[in-house]
């Protein structure tokens, strides 16, 4: 008999199945070693996936220690870590995780909205559901191509459609509104909380513009020097909150961040 679980959102899924006879006992290090040895006999390796990583975590420290020990033993093991830019930056500065500096770093960036439409359309079709083209386009455009928002919108589209065969316009409205609130709680609040007052003031001054902001204009609004504003800009780019769009200009890196800062969400 096996036990397990899985979860998915519009085609993005993960699942694990465990058999009691294959479930090792003991510490995490011992269990990871047992898994590595068992897979090694089949000429396979271990891939550790860590999502929504946070720094200063006892679990991450334990994982890092076990991983490095097994690598030192020549085990076939690899690790992939995902998280918001600010969290990744904090993890890289964690003394227990300095080995991650040697890892390949990939910034997912945003997805083309037409690709989001194709993804939603194909997955809904596979699930036996239909959606009007205008509503499909509206849902895809609302994600702004932001991968996490793609998942949120997709999840709520299915959650609110339930057993219905048609994703209605009202369902899309509800899914988009709920996804934006979830983005507020799961992305904006954690990302903004550790910022200094100066960094927050920079963001608020920046989103006073309806389009890209110039560093010079933001510096004037704050009453600071251009070099000081450039230092703040660099911190916010590293935190994944703003994106350069040409010489001396920046925009919010996450959809609806400007609305959040203006108190519109």
Dist CA 217 CA 231 (whole Å): 15
Looking up tokens 């909205």 gives 113
Instruction: Specify the pLDDT at position 264.
Output: 66
Dist CA 139 CA 124 (whole Å): 13
The per-residue pLDDT for range 143-186, each reduced to its tens digit, is 999 988 999 999 999 999 999 999 999 999 999 999 999 999 88
E-strand ranges in the chain read 3-9, 12-18, 46-50, 77-81, 130-131, 166-167, 213-214, 242-244, 249-252
User: Minimum mean pLDDT among 22-31, 43-52, 101-110, 200-209: which range?
Assistant: 22-31
Tell me how crowded residue 64 is: count the other CB atoms within 10 A of its CB: 21
Give the global pTM.
Answer: 0.71
DSSP 199-230: HHHHHHHHTTSSS-EEHHHHHHHHT--HHHHH
């Amino acid at each position: 008999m096996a036990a397990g679980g899985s979860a998915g959102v519009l085609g993005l899924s993960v699942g694990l199945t465990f058999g009691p006879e294959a479930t090792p006992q003991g510490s995490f290090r011992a269990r990871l070693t047992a898994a590595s040895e068992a897979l090694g006999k089949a000429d396979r390796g271990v891939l550790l996936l860590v999502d929504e990583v946070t720094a200063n975590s006892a679990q991450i420290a334990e994982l890092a220690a076990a991983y490095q020990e097994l690598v030192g033993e020549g085990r076939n093991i690899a690790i992939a870590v995902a998280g918001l830019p600010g969290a990744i930056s904090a993890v890289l500065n964690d003394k227990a995780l300095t080995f991650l500096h040697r890892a390949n770093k990939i910034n997912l960036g945003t997805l083309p909205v037409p690709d989001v439409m194709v993804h939603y359309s194909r997955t809904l079709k596979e699930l036996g559901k239909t959606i009007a083209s205008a509503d499909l386009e509206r849902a895809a455009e609302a994600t702004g191509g932001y991968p996490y928002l793609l998942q949120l919108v997709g999840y709520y589209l299915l959650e609110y459609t339930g057993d219905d065969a048609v994703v209605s316009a009202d369902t899309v409205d509800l899914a988009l509104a709920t996804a934006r609130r979830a983005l507020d709680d799961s992305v904006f609040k954690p990302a903004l909380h550790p910022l200094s007052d100066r960094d927050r003031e920079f963001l608020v001054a920046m989103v006073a513009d309806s389009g890209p902001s110039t560093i010079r204009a933001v510096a004037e609004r704050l009453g600071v020097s251009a070099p000081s504003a450039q230092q703040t800009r660099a911190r916010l780019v590293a935190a994944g909150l703003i994106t350069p769009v040409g010489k001396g200009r920046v925009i919010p890196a996450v959809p609806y961040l400007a609305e959040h800062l203006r108190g519109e969400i």
